[in-house]
Amino acid sequence: MELVLATRNSDKIREIEKALKNLPIKILTFKDFSNFPYVEESGKSLKENALLKAKAIAKFTGKLSLADDSGLEVEYLKGAPGVYSSRFAGENASYEDNNRKLLSLLKDVPYDKRGALFRCVIAFAKPEGKYFIVEGACPGKIVFSPRGRGGFGYDPIFQPEGYKKTFAQLSLEEKNRISHRAKALSKAREILEKLIRKGNKFLVGITGNMGCGKTTVSSFFEREGFKVIYADKIGHQILEEEKVKEKLLALFGEDVLGNNRKVSREKLRKIVGEDKEKLYKLNRLLHPLIKQKIWEILERCEDKVIFIEAALIFEASWDFFMDRIITVFCSREKQIERIRKKGLEPEQIRALLDSQLPQEEKIKKADFVIQNEKALKELEMDAKNVLKEILEEVKIGCKS
């Protein structure tokens, strides 16, 4: 696997290469391409800038790309310089120019009010436009004068929390254990490891909002002899785990339990259906656990083509790991009619539907779209046509 670093900054390249060492990947830089483009950082946030660079370089090279954007957020300056960190003192400012300007603005500010946070956002992008975002942060203080000769940028005036030295006084090994970029790169390394573990498996995501019939379509592929991983079923299994039960009790109290003292999916669905904040907390707990289980299944699976059914593929950024996405959709009226059979009240249904990405967005992001308003026979015919296209693409032939 090849990875292009979307930067011309040799200091960043050195840090990234060190963080990703020993991975079975070939790292490419601007030196490996002629006319490597300069991408203007015109975004209004670190995330926007990282994505701009990663997408542009992925499109230019036709390869997986990694870009980062980092910023220093100073409390006294209400988050400045932030996204303008690299050009705080002007478009062609040097590291020293930026440091001098920042120190001048904090000239009479006491130490206890010089809190700051280094933040790093890393974006992966594929040539077809899919992307994944990770970030890391490191809190600290701005010292009164530059100290140390190592590092770059604001390193000489940033003292990380719990240390008496600035970043510029720490060794690269010490800095790479605690820095914002090191933390973000650690997460980025995990993403690369998953892509490597995926190998040559062709993953097809099946998604759609509640009541749209994605499980019906998934069952068709399963009957055709293909491996289907159901995220919802994995979620049900996870709810049976004692450690998860304890965390749910801490979050939502005894109301999540049924008469048998086990987690009740119906009660849990009602609780989160009435409170978006509680739904967010539930997803934050369950999503990483579900993802981990899916990767464990994938590692054991020897199938070439594997279908993964999950309602929140786009919301959870799982689409980055999928080779193709199928979105199953139907009218909102039909959705509500089907969901009502689960015993939910209209307000709960609306809250759950509003918590998911609008159908139009899922349709726009999909490689294949299947409408589920028709008779079962017609739905299966549409699914069969999609399956045929997928199998022609991976050139393994139909199993049925």
- Residue 305 main-chain phi, psi, to 5 deg: -110, 125
Pairing assessment for the beta strands 227-230 and 324-329 based on DSSP bridges:
unpaired
| Catalytic residue list contains 69 | yes
We find that the CATH architecture of domain 200-394 is: 3-Layer(aba) Sandwich (3.40)
pLDDT attached to residue 203: 95
Residues 265, 272: Cα–Cα separation, whole Å: 11
pLDDT attached to residue 11: 82
pLDDT attached to residue 152: 85
CA proximity to 353, closest of 332, 369, 324, 323: 332
pLDDT attached to residue 396: 58
Q: Are 345 and 227 in contact (CB under 8 A)?
A: no
pTM of the full structure: 0.80
According to CATH, what is the number of the domain 2-195?
3.90.950.10
Domain ranges of the chain: 2-195, 200-394
The string of pLDDT tens digits covering residues 296-349 is: 999 888 899 999 999 889 888 889 999 999 999 988 888 877 777 776 777 777
User: Would you tell me how many other CB atoms lie within 10 Å of the CB of residue 316?
Assistant: 16
Instruction: Given the residues 68, 69, 323, 382, select the one marked as catalytic.
Output: 69
For residue 304, the Cα-to-chain-centroid distance in whole angstroms is 25
Q: Are 350 and 393 in contact (CB under 8 A)?
A: no
Q: Residue 116 is inside which H or E element, if any?
A: strand 115-125
Across the chain, which has 400 residues, the per-10-residue mean pLDDT values are 93 88 94 92 92 96 95 94 91 91 95 95 94 95 92 92 94 87 92 89 92 91 95 92 92 87 85 80 89 90 93 88 94 81 72 80 94 88 94 68
